[in-house]
Amino acid sequence: MNKIPLGQLLDVAICAAEAAGNHALANKHRRTEANDIFDHDIKLVLDVECQKIAEEVIASEFPEHGILGEEDIRGNPAEAYEWIIDPIDGTMNYTHGHPFWCCSIAVRHHETILAGCVFAPEFGDYYTAHIEDVAKLNGQPIRVSKTKRLQDAMIFTGLSKHMRSHKEPHFEMFQMLALNTRKVRINGSAALDLCHVATGTSDGFFETSIYLWDYAAAGLIAERAGAVLFLYPHQDIPHGATVLCANEHLIDGLRAIHTKCI
């Protein structure tokens, strides 16, 4: 059973996300400094720096807790509490000076996500939630949309960084979404996409091959705003999953598309 007050956990998540996100914002002039470049991804020097800053904030309050991050894994794997960090979600946006990026911090006890914060520094937006309270944007409660038909919905999505050919299921799923919804949008940050589901500015989210640190905090935020979240773990990608999220009226339609394409 969780013994640490949820409010305390959320406060630390907010502080860690703010510290990491503000470091990235203050160092935008270094946004192209790369450690590794891949066909469909990039790893920045600032990814590592921001992760370390978030870890320092967490360790100052909970030095014994574990860390699972996009850039680092540390601590005792048997520790019941684990912090899940994406220091810059939307890295490609960030490198190009596009403002749709964020820092995501969540904490889980065993396998249950307890609290999380997604901080979008360019907009000054803090999306927050813990499991016993409603989701909030800048301290104000938020709620999913009331759209009832998939053909009326705007769905946010993305294309996997693991793409190798045009025959892969990512493209079939994208086509099915495009044909069965009002509009599909690709924004480049899964965490912020899920937060927009929480605010009702998107009706749903559907993406394959994203990672736990992409959706841990934002998935909880969406759920606490009334969304239904489905995860389909990828056996061949550690911490990877296909993620579907929408209000209760739309989720079955997204699940049906997923079933047709797998």
Distance (Å, rounded) from C-alpha 225 to C-alpha 197? 9
Annotated binding site for Mg(2+): 70, 86, 88-89, 214
Question: Is residue 253 classed as helix, strand or coil in its secondary structure?
Answer: helix
Neighbours of 233 (CB within 10 A): 11
Question: Is residue 231 classed as helix, strand or coil in its secondary structure?
Answer: strand
CA distances from 126 to 18, 71, 163, 192 (A): 9, 22, 32, 11
Distance (Å, rounded) from C-alpha 180 to C-alpha 188? 21
Annotated binding site: 70, 86, 88-89, 214
Q: Both tokens of residue 180?
A: 């069965």
Distance (Å, rounded) from C-alpha 223 to C-alpha 85? 19
> Based on the number of CB atoms within 10 Å of its own CB, is 244 exposed (0-12), middle (13-18) or buried (19 or more)?
buried
Distance (Å, rounded) from C-alpha 198 to C-alpha 143? 6
